[in-house]
Amino acid sequence: MSDAPSPSSRRIRVFISSTFRDMIAERDELMSHTWPELRRLCQERHVELVEVDLRWGIAEEQCTRKETLKLCLDEILACRPFLL
């Protein structure tokens, strides 16, 4: 048995939480400056950083079928314990 970490343990998923219509400037700042720098630092340590911002991740069809809440909760669980 190998002592090497599993691929999923070398991944950090961070969920960004707010309504889809607020914190726009803050989210844009994260996307343009913060995440690229954090990704670089993580890559130096062989860790993958994945930011989860559902502003772009929920299709109109999913909204129509009332799946938004379930999708958000599923992503929060997958990102646990990293929630902003």
> Which residues neighbour 52 within 8 Å (Cβ) at sequence distance 6 or greater?
13, 14, 15, 16, 75, 78, 79
Q: In this structure, is residue 57 part of a structural domain? A: yes
Chain mean pLDDT for the chain: 81
Q: In this structure, is residue 15 part of a structural domain? A: yes
Q: In this structure, is residue 71 part of a structural domain? A: yes
Q: In this structure, is residue 32 part of a structural domain? A: yes
Q: In this structure, is residue 24 part of a structural domain? A: yes
Q: In this structure, is residue 23 part of a structural domain? A: yes
Return d(Cα 69, Cα 44) in angstroms, integer.
Answer: 35
In the structure encoding, which two tokens stand for residue 73, read together?
Answer: 């909760």
Q: Is the pLDDT of residue 79 over 60?
A: yes
Q: What is the pLDDT of residues 39-77, one digit of tens each?
A: 999 999 999 999 988 776 566 666 566 777 888 889 899
User: What 8-state DSSP symbol labels residue 26?
Assistant: H
72 lies in which domain range? 7-79
Q: In this structure, is residue 68 part of a structural domain? A: yes
Amino acid at 76: I
Confidence (pLDDT) at 61: 62
How many CA within 13 A on the CB side of residue 26?
10
pTM over the 0.75 mark: no
Domain count for the chain, please give it: 1
Q: In this structure, is residue 12 part of a structural domain? A: yes
Instruction: Say how many residues make up the chain.
Output: 84
